[in-house]
Amino acid sequence: MARSLLIVPRWGGTPASDCYPWLLRSLSAESPPAYASAQALSMPRPEQPEVDAWVPALAEAARSVDASQTVLMGHSVGCQAVLRYLAEQPEGRTFAGVLLVAAWWRVDQPWPSLLPWQEPVAELARARAAARRFLVLLSDNDPFTSDHEENGRLWRARLKAEVRLVPGAQHFNRPEEPAVLEALRALATP
């Protein structure tokens, strides 16, 4: 059975920004398609993301999907929205996979409106149990998180995630991101 894909964009991101349009075009052009349905979400006030708005927006978008056949992708602050959403899942609701791109627990120089996103995820064990697989893509020159080694160690320790380093990818904001496409293809396979 083909999977579904929901993408939560980065801070300031929209379905039309970054690599999201390219990813969706590339995935839909495959034969057979890796995903039966795929969409980048339009999040509330992307220029000023708020935990209390983004997590319910993701919950609404995912309300009707079959979690066992759905992959969630978060990009930067979108990763934090995905984690907080997963932490609210009832026991037994398990997503097929989660891709976290330019993921972080802390950024080097947080601005005031980012601080709520750096608060610990209250039910991290529940979040970890709500997905069969976590795949994290990090760059060795991300301008927001300079210590990619420590960042990767935390993702492995806290979520038992597979962490892949993509040299020179910065914050994964280019119009085409082949490493992201490859990771989504890997998560599409049961």
Q: Which two three-digit tokens encode residue 59?
A: 């919950």
Q: How far apart are CA 87 and CA 56, in angstroms?
A: 12
Mean pLDDT of 140-166: 97
**pLDDT at position 32, please?**
87
Percentage with pLDDT > 70 across the chain:
99
Between strands 3-8 and 70-75, the pairing is parallel
Residue 145 reports pLDDT greater than 50: yes
Indicate whether 176 pLDDT > 90: yes
Which tens digits make up the pLDDT trace of 90-106?
Answer: 999 999 999 999 999 99
For residue 112, pLDDT beyond 60 = yes
Residue 23 has pLDDT above 50, yes or no: yes
Average pLDDT in the 125-141 region? 97
- Cα Rg of the chain (Å, integer): 15
Query: How close are the terminal C-alpha atoms of the chain, in Å?
Result: 9
- Domains of the chain as residue ranges with CATH: 3-188 (3.40.50.1820)
Gap between the Cα atoms of 182 and 173, Å rounded: 16
Q: Count the alpha carbons within 13 Å of 113 in the hemisphere toward its beta carbon.
A: 10
Mean pLDDT, rounded, of the chain? 96
- Nearest residue to 48 (alpha-carbon basis) of 135, 115, 109: 115
Average pLDDT (105-109) is 96
Residue 167: per-residue pLDDT: 97
Tell me if residue 32 falls in helix, strand or coil: coil
Backbone dihedral angles phi then psi of residue 54, each to the nearest 5 degrees? -75, -40
| 97 beta partners | 71
CA–CA dist 19, 176 (Å, integer):
5
Range name among 20-34, 48-62, 167-181 with the lowest pLDDT average: 20-34
Task: Examine the pLDDT at 86 and tell me if it is beyond 80.
Answer: yes
Q: What is the pLDDT of residue 1?
A: 47
- Give the pLDDT confidence score for residue 2 in this predicted structure: 56
pLDDT recorded at residue 31? 86
